[in-house]
Amino acid sequence: MARHLITSALPYINGIKHLGNLVGSQLPADLYARYLRARGHEVMFICATDEHGTPAELAAAKTGEAVADYCARMHAEQARLADGFGLSFDHYGRSSSDRNRRLTQHFAGRLADQGYIREVEEAQVYSHADGRFLPDRYIEGTCPNCGYDKARGDQCENCTKQLDPTDLIDPRSAISGSTDLEVRATKHLYLRQSALKGDIAAWIDTKADWPILTTSIARKWLNDGDGLQDRGITRDLDWGVPVKRGDADWPGMEGKVFYVWFDAPIEYIGATAEWADATGADDAAWRRWWRLDEGAEDVTYTQFMGKDNVPFHTLSFPATLIGSGEPWKMVDYIKSFNYLTYQGGQFSTSQGRGVFMDHALEILPADYWRWWLLSHAPESGDSEFTWENFQQSVNKDLADVLGNFVSRITKFCRSKFGEAVPEGPAWGEAERALIDTLTTRIRAYEANMAAMEVRKAASELRAIWVSGNEYLQSAAPWTVFKTDPDQAAMQVRMGLNLIRLYAVLSRPFIPFAAEAMLGAMGAPDAAWPDDVAAALEALPAGHAFTVPDVLFAKISDDDRATWEERFQGARA
């Protein structure tokens, strides 16, 4: 049994996430975690809400709530939706937790002690109307390069030119629209990433098995232009982790907080410590996952994230861990994803364009979404969600292939043999050939799952389902029964055992339907089929079963048209 630490990128706190967010990190991470658990490995699957920074403050202001109250409410809502989608986190934490606060301050102190923090006096824009310094992205104006009148203070989205707020023509606050701005001097702490470039580059060089998407982004940031730059880790904000050097105050940093990008990845560790607190375990329980000197030497650590998060996890967070001089567990593998687009455009949180997690669960069970998203995961390039493709995939894969198989064999058995597995003779030539086919395909499925090749694994799983359908269609027990009831009984016994097998194999992808299948077969604790032939003898003659409800209802053209109209724009 191996030990696996799995983390998925932290969803930001300001609102419900859409399907593109879900498939970009949390859902494939859950798939992998479920698979590893099914194979008997020890898994710690961690995620949390990312709660600090200006967007959280602004979102709270819109609802009239205190920011802490807003974050607490949204954390509960995001946790509820994660549970609704079957995301099997061992703990779903909060970056605003006391654990993360103390760890963030600890890392800052260690980095300072190691000489990797420097103080920088810089000019920042202060808004008199808002009574605050404005982060670069909350200053808008006209781009001096292309003339776009909604360029942000960090980058022009139109021409992609990197900008400073002082570059903008006619700058204004993106919060209030005020032009009453002033450039003031303020001091901030910077992480000396440039001093750690060699260590980070050497570490990345050891990751020859990483996806090209991951390493290409990391190397671009390391080597393009002036290379890896020092990065500010503090901000003039009220909401966040107060700047301290370990337990001690940091002179000159009073009233400042750590920048959200600095404290958020540390929450992977923080959330594991929160798990220990929640389960009544001691600190040794979480440290064995994270400290190489306390038991983490044999841990394999895998991160899942969208490509926009790769720079922080290949450069900045590693800089924090390496720079601390302490033996923290570094990530072994980063599985990164491209983007999921929606009906020829982008998902839009502000415009409510696309399907969001709450509305998805309102209209269909989670497994419909899980199957489509994972079988179309944006691995080698961007993927596009269309309602037509979604309808076809659900109807063909889930309803026609898997659902129809389960319905046909259980109802036929009930009508001819009752609700117990019939006996019949030993397996014949067709059954032995099926076992050989399934063994080959299941081993391929396992290889794809172990390699985190999500779409290939989904394709192999569907082929496994198809094999059973082809066997049943060829065997035709409903016809054989008329002349040879014993032979038909054997074929039905095979079919019922296939349902159990399919349920076990399908659990990582469609856990709710799999549990329903196992419950109907009276086999809730069914184990992974290391021996396929033995697995297909697991339900003996006389074993009771029930006919399950319809596993997957087909999506009608009317339903598809209704949903396509509903989710094309403004969020209801």
- CA distances in angstroms from 202 to 198, 199, 217, 262, 345, listed in the order given: 6, 5, 16, 22, 39
Classify residue 226 as exposed, middle or buried by CB count within 10 Å of its CB (0-12, 13-18, 19+): exposed
Q: How many Cβ atoms sit within 10 Å of the Cβ of residue 198?
A: 10
pLDDT of residue 467: 97
**Weakest mean pLDDT among 48-52, 54-58, 322-326, 421-425:** 54-58
CA dihedral 547, 548, 549, 555 (to 10 degrees): -110
Residue range 499-507: mean pLDDT, rounded: 98
Domain 3-110+260-337 has CATH 3.40.50.620: yes
**Residues ≥6 apart with Cβ < 8 Å to 1:** 40, 41, 42
Residue 570 has pLDDT above 60, yes or no: no
Query: Residues 267-300, buried b or exposed e (16+ Cβ, 10 A)?
Result: bbbbbbbbbbbeeeeeeebbbbbbbeeebbeebe
pLDDT of residue 357: 97
**Strand residue runs (E) in 259-404:** 299-306, 333-337, 340-342, 383-385
pLDDT of residue 427: 97
- Residue 571: which pLDDT band, with cuts at 50, 70 and 90? very low
- Is residue 159 marked as binding? yes
State the sign of the Cα–Cα–Cα–Cα dihedral 224, 225, 228, 232: negative
Residue range 50-61: mean pLDDT, rounded: 91
Residue range 466-477: mean pLDDT, rounded: 96
Q: Which strand ranges, in their side-by-side order, compose the sheet holding 151-152?
A: 151-152, 139-142, 169-173
Which amino acid is present at 276? Answer: A
Rounded to whole angstroms, how far apart are CA atoms 46 and 269?
9
Residue range 466-486: mean pLDDT, rounded: 97
CATH number of 389-535: 1.10.730.10
pLDDT of residue 304: 98
Domain borders along the chain are 3-110+260-337, 389-535
Rounded to whole angstroms, how far apart are CA atoms 46 and 161?
36
- Is residue 47 marked as binding? no
Residue 572 has pLDDT above 60, yes or no: no
pLDDT of residue 568: 83
Q: How much of the chain is in helix, strand and coil states, percent to nearest 5?
A: 50, 15, 35
**Tokens of residue 496, six digits:** 């019922």
- CA distances in angstroms from 199 to 45, 296, 297, 325, listed in the order given: 28, 21, 20, 12
The predicted model scores a pTM of: 0.94
- CA distances in angstroms from 138 to 8, 172, 182, 211, listed in the order given: 27, 9, 14, 34
pLDDT of residue 48: 98
If you count DSSP H runs as helices and E runs as strands, how many of each does the chain have, helices first?
Answer: 22, 18
Residue range 19-46: mean pLDDT, rounded: 98
**pLDDT (tens digit per residue) in 260-275:** 999 999 999 999 999 9
- CA distances in angstroms from 313 to 80, 166, 291, 308, listed in the order given: 27, 29, 18, 10
Q: What whole-number percentage of the chain has pLDDT above 90?
A: 88
**pLDDT (tens digit per residue) in 387-408:** 999 999 999 999 999 999 999 9
- Is residue 156 marked as binding? yes
**pLDDT (tens digit per residue) in 228-243:** 899 999 999 889 999 9
Residue 55 has pLDDT above 90, yes or no: no
Residue range 532-544: mean pLDDT, rounded: 97
pLDDT of residue 154: 82
Kindly write down the DSSP assignment for every residue of 475-499, as one continuous string: H-HHHHTTT-HHHHHHHHHHHHHHH
**pLDDT (tens digit per residue) in 80-92:** 999 999 999 999 9
If you average pLDDT over every residue of the chain, what do you get?
95
**pLDDT (tens digit per residue) in 118-173:** 999 988 899 999 888 888 888 999 999 999 999 998 888 788 777 888 889 999 99
**pLDDT (tens digit per residue) in 190-200:** 999 999 999 99
Distance of CA 281 to the CA centre of its chain: 26
Question: Comparing C-alpha atoms, which of 475, 502, 501, 470 is closest to residue 489?
Answer: 475
